[in-house]
Amino acid sequence: MFKEILLVFLFSTTVFSEHEGRIRKRQATHEFKNKNYYLETLIRANFHNSFMFCQRLGMQLLTINSNEEYDYIYKIITSELTFGWDSKLWTSGTDLGREGKFNWLSTGQPIKINKWLRGQPDNDHGSGEHCVEFWNNRGSIGLNDDKCHIENNFICESFK
């Protein structure tokens, strides 16, 4: 019985991916309430490829559903990563469906938290930015809309 429980536990927290022809093990590195998180800090990908990468791990690109969860992710980024000036990390937030209306693509739910950096989202003054990232803008860290083709690190999540 214990062995079965252990196996279920291992299966639920360990994910595998195929990258450049090699299978690499991915381990969920953090947990908060009902979620596990995996921080992808080796690979940079555009918004869509980040989304698909998480799916291939059996996970989904990050959603943030409360200020509490935001604070937890913020703490990881600022205390455990080298997240210097102009560092960026994708979330699954996007307004591609309708300009100015931001949703989490992974769940289809509206973005309810208000953790935008000052002056954001700005859609790059109308020229078009539709994907949501964490951004270190000269020492201020928060959410920003950016061009979806930019290649960033990202965070995947799964539910326990």
| Contact set with Ca ion (CB under 5 A) | 95, 120, 122-123, 129-130, 144-145
Query: Which CB, 21 or 119, lies closer to Ca ion?
Result: 119
Q: 47 is written with which tokens?
A: 């918004």
As measured in angstroms, the least distance from the Cβ of 77 to Ca ion is 18
Query: Which CB, 40 or 129, lies closer to Ca ion?
Result: 129
Nearest Cα neighbor of 154 from 33, 51, 4, 3 is: 51
As measured in angstroms, the least distance from the Cβ of 23 to Ca ion is 37
Burial class (CB in 10 A: 0-12, 13-18, 19+), 92: buried
Query: Which CB, 38 or 83, lies closer to Ca ion?
Result: 83
As measured in angstroms, the least distance from the Cβ of 102 to Ca ion is 8
- Residue matched to tokens 């290649």: 151
Query: Which CB, 29 or 120, lies closer to Ca ion?
Result: 120
Distance CA 125, CA 146 (A): 11
